[in-house]
Amino acid sequence: MGADDRPLTGRFRADGAPLSLAEYERAGGYAGLRKALTTMTPEAVVAEVDRANLRGRGGAGFPAGRKWKSIPANAAATRYVIANADEMEPGAFKDRVLMEGDPHQLIEGMAIAAYAVQAQTGYIFLRYEYRQAARALATALAEAQRAGYLGDHVLGSSWSFALHLHVSAGRYICGESSALLNAMEGRRPVPRATLPRATTAGLWGAPTVVNNVETLCNVPHIITRGADWFSALGIGPPSRRGAVDGGTKLYTLSGRVNRPGWCERPMGTPLRVLIEEQGAGMRNGFALRAVQPGGASTGFLGPAHLDVPMDFDSPEQYRSRLGTGTVMVYDDRTCPIGVLHNLQHFFAQESCGWCTPCRDGLPWVEQLLLDLEAGRGRPEDLEILAQHVDALGPGQTFCALAPGAMAPLETGLTLFRDEFERHVREGRCSYLAGKA
Ligand SMILES: Cc1cc2nc3c(=O)[nH]c(=O)nc-3n(C[C@H](O)[C@H](O)[C@H](O)COP(=O)(O)O)c2cc1C
Ligand code: SF4
């Protein structure tokens, strides 16, 4: 693939340092914002992003154009645009790559989004630990301000946009978009009721667009090169809505592969290609047992599923999800019950405690898995775990943290059934004993 096919990362510097403003401009940067401001109405920008079918890269795949369209038309209203850069899901680091490599791309994407919905203020809600990204963004924000891409009368237009960096105090739940709003208002970061939506009453009650970093980074390219170009980049099958998921995807790869890391590939690239080409296959002596294709909160796929296209709809046929495109590869010499315990430990620790099934259920699940791994499990524990999958599933809790936690448990109970039963039968973990 040439740099042209990698709009998000193709112009990255080889030494990994962030692109300066001058480098970004030389590579065509801020042409999208200029085009939007000088040749397009805000409505035309929204329509182009809508036509591109840009689906949110924060995990749920909600179309960005549809979200922007739902901002009420009221010329006098205060509005906000927020980039969700919390990225605390285990294994995920795609947004860090984008912010450290090309911070102006995010700033331009946010400025275009803000122009589209006529927001006057924006915030980048950044994960606490992302110090390097914070430095890159602070420098880029100052450069963009001096050059007139931010601030009063952007590029001489009648529209002004102030963009600020907000560093999170650091909890996974702060990435949930409504908990994020509470966090920004200085409240306890628990999710808000689904209605009213943030696009109607978000930050301090004003219409607010919250989009993921990668989603926003795609926007300048859609405006510069058009919705048709963007759609043609995707290589997966048509989605349930009838159109192919367009664009590229920043996939990250970790676990027992030879070459962990990240790559930008066409949306819909098969899992096998990511593992064999990008990851250079399994490490010597290890066989593939399972993959979480979209991060810690996505269901396990097995070796039979490697040809699944990594777009939004395809993994769902196998009770999994694209999620954030965080591919985690597990081998046959690591205890899968231990893996599940490790995941549930994270989710139990990060539960915000707002609703009972999640607050009380996750620690119980974690304890059952710890006992099962250590050989203290009982046959009935498998049924109790399965009951939790239902009790903490979609619709039972205020937010998607608990259902997300249950996704690997549900698929793990099926995929690793033999391993669960062996642990109970033998009363020990043969992996811990080194005799798997
Ligand atoms: C527990 C939890 C954590 C989340 N963390 C993030 C995150 O770090 N970054 C992100 O973009 N979305 C995160 N999300 C999803 C957001 O709620 C929201 O869907 C997303 O920011 C919308 O952006 P998009 O439409 O561009 O994907 C999280 C959701 C949940 C339930
Ligand atoms: S599901 Fe968990 S994280 Fe989400 S609101 Fe309920 S207690 Fe909080």
Q: What is the three-class DSSP state of 244?
A: strand
Distance 224 CA to ligand 2 centre (A): 40
Instruction: Report the C-alpha gap between 7 and 9 in whole angstroms.
Output: 6
Over 80: is that where the pLDDT of 182 sits?
A: yes
Over 50: is that where the pLDDT of 113 sits?
A: yes
Could you state, in order of their start, the residue ranges of all structural domains in the chain? 3-233, 248-331, 336-426
pLDDT of 377-402, one tens digit each? Answer: 999 999 999 999 999 999 999 999 99
Q: pLDDT value at position 435?
A: 45
Q: How confident is the model at residue 194 (pLDDT cuts 50, 70, 90)?
A: confident
Over 70: is that where the pLDDT of 102 sits?
A: yes
Please give the torsion angle defined by the CA atoms of residues 189, 191, 192 and 193, in that order, rounded to the nearest 10 degrees: -160
**pLDDT, mean over the chain:** 95
pLDDT of 396-423, one tens digit each? Answer: 999 999 999 999 999 999 999 999 999 9
Q: pLDDT value at position 97?
A: 98
Over 80: is that where the pLDDT of 434 sits?
A: no
Over 90: is that where the pLDDT of 24 sits?
A: yes
Ligand closest to CA 402: 2
Q: How confident is the model at residue 214 (pLDDT cuts 50, 70, 90)?
A: very high
Q: Which of 176, 354, 392, 398 to mutate to test the pocket of ligand 1 (most atoms within 8 A of CB)?
A: 176
CA angle 192, 194, 198 (to 5 degrees): 75
Q: How confident is the model at residue 74 (pLDDT cuts 50, 70, 90)?
A: confident
Q: pLDDT value at position 432?
A: 76
Backbone angles phi, psi at 249, to 5 degrees: -135, 135
Q: What is the three-class DSSP state of 289?
A: strand
Q: pLDDT value at position 3?
A: 66
CATH class of the domain defined by 336-426: mainly alpha
Ligand closest to CA 354: 2
pLDDT of 338-362, one tens digit each? Answer: 999 999 999 999 999 999 999 999 9
CATH class of the domain defined by 248-331: alpha beta
Q: What is the three-class DSSP state of 233?
A: helix
Ligand closest to CA 191: 2
- The full length of the chain comes to 436
pLDDT of 217-226, one tens digit each? Answer: 999 999 999 9
72, 323, 108, 85: which is closest to 202 by C-alpha? 72
Mean pLDDT of 105-126: 98
Answer yes or no: are the C-beta atoms of 257 and 235 closer than 8 Å: no
Share of the chain above pLDDT 90, in %: 92
Q: Which helix (H) or strand (E) holds 411?
A: helix 401-415
Q: Of all atoms in ligand 1, which is nearest to the CA of residue 84?
A: 11
Residue with CA nearest ligand 1 atom 28: 176
Instruction: Report the C-alpha gap between 160 and 153 in whole angstroms.
Output: 5
CATH class of the domain defined by 3-233: alpha beta
Distance 407 CA to ligand 2 centre (A): 15
Q: Which of 55, 68, 84 to mutate to test the pocket of ligand 1 (most atoms within 8 A of CB)?
A: 84
Residue given tokens 């340092």 in the structure block: 17
CA atoms 182, 190, 54, 73: torsion sign: negative
pLDDT of 220-273, one tens digit each? Answer: 999 999 999 999 999 989 888 778 899 999 999 999 999 999 999 999 999 999
Instruction: Report the C-alpha gap between 260 and 268 in whole angstroms.
Output: 20
Give the pocket of ligand 1 (CB within 6 Å).
Answer: 56-60, 62, 64, 84, 86-88, 172-173, 175-177, 210-212, 215, 399-401
